[in-house]
């Protein structure tokens, strides 16, 4: 089996659809590798690095399939990029140099667009995202950090890339203020930096996992590339703002200072990161996962199948993976 996996890496132009393989002992972290179809591979695709949270740490790469970019792909999402999903050992934090070793290993075997490397992570992975982008901003076109934080000493380096930070105010695993401090530090270094903060007033820690099953973060990241001229960057600021404004509260405009949190800073707690619920001030919506039925969703949220059908104008009980349903 290991020989077969190595052969997949050594033959970049082997024809297959989007396939996920395990890679062990080839870089400082083991990782899952998702390869797009042959047409995308031939066009020198970008690379997206997904960094998982604490609950997926360990020495079993199947854990990394539990939620996030890999799970979104296996649920049917097509991502026109090579996706790298490394795994960190239990009890360890992400180390930028080790993440870089994984990136460079893949770049060695595949012809990719080195101006279009992206990183996205959640919880512990969000910390890893800011660590990595802060250490190597010259390699990262854009980053998305969900319900995490970072080292404030990296803030000025993070102005050299483009970053979207998101956090739920009801987070009891990582304080909302951790993302707030990171955002403010970046803006203090450069107020014109492309750095956004989306704050979800009614979202908890696990709810942010739903972002990996939506279009916004991918649309936002993939518009950026390194070495873009100033005119292009001015236009991207406009387009970036449009995508950002669809997702939640514009924290950059409505910045508030009175955050009260009883959040638990202990990352070792096993988190419920599979809820895929999106909450906001107006409505409660649910992203359909594998195996879901309308009856199960209705029972879970103390409503009825008929009410969900009415809210979503459904004529049958048939639902699709990644479909966003209004619940209440």
pLDDT reading at 239 higher than 60 = no
pLDDT band at residue 278 using 50, 70 and 90 as cut-offs: very low
Q: For residue 135, give both structure tokens.
A: 């250490």
Q: For residue 249, give both structure tokens.
A: 């509260």
CATH class, range 283-326: alpha beta
The CATH code belonging to domain 2-250 is 3.40.50.1820
Q: For residue 197, give both structure tokens.
A: 């903060």
On whether the pTM is more than 0.85, the answer is: no
pLDDT reading at 275 higher than 90 = no
Give the tens place of pLDDT for each residue, 150-181.
Answer: 999 999 999 999 999 999 999 999 999 999 99
At residue 2, the pLDDT reads 46
**Domain spans, the chain:** 2-250, 283-326
Give the tens place of pLDDT for each residue, 103-116.
Answer: 999 999 999 999 99
Q: Using CA atoms, how far apart are residues 259 and 50, in angstroms rounded to an integer?
A: 29
DSSP 8-state class, residue 271: P
Contact 243, 263 (CB under 8 A): no
Contact 52, 87 (CB under 8 A): yes
Give the tens place of pLDDT for each residue, 56-105.
Answer: 999 999 999 999 999 999 988 989 999 999 999 999 999 999 999 999 99
């Amino acid at each position: 089996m290991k020989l077969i996996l190595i052969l997949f890496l050594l033959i970049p132009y082997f024809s297959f659809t989007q396939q996920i393989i395990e890679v062990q002992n080839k870089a400082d972290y083991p990782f899952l590798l998702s390869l797009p179809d042959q047409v995308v591979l031939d066009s020198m695709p970008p690379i997206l690095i997904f960094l998982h949270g604490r609950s997926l740490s360990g020495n079993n790469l199947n854990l990394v399939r539990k939620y996030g970019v890999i799970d979104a792909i296996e649920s049917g999402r097509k991502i026109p990029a090579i996706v790298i999903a490394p795994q960190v050992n239990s009890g360890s934090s992400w180390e930028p140099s080790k993440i870089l070793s994984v990136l460079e290993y893949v770049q060695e075997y595949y012809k990719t667009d080195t101006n279009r490397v992206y990183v996205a992570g959640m919880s512990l992975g969000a910390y890893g995202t800011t660590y990595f982008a802060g250490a190597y901003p010259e390699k990262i076109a854009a980053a998305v950090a969900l319900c995490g934080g970072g080292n404030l000493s990296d803030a000025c380096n993070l102005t050299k890339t483009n970053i979207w930070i998101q956090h739920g105010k009801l987070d009891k695993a990582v304080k909302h203020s951790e993302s707030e401090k990171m955002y403010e530090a970046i803006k203090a270094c450069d107020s014109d930096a492309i750095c956004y903060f989306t704050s979800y007033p009614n979202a908890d820690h696990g709810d942010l996992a739903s972002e990996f099953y939506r279009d916004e973060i991918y649309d936002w990241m993939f518009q950026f590339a390194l070495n873009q001229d100033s005119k292009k960057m001015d236009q991207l600021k406009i387009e970036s703002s449009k995508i950002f404004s669809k997702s939640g509260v514009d924290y950059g405009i409505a910045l508030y200072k009175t955050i009260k949190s009883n959040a638990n800073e202990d990352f070792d707690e096993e988190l419920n990161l599979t809820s895929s619920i999106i909450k906001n001030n107006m409505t409660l919506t649910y992203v359909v996962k594998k195996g879901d039925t309308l009856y199960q969703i209705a029972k879970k949220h103390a409503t009825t199948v008929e009410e969900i059908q009415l809210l979503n104008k459904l004529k049958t009980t048939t639902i699709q993976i990644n479909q966003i349903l209004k619940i209440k």
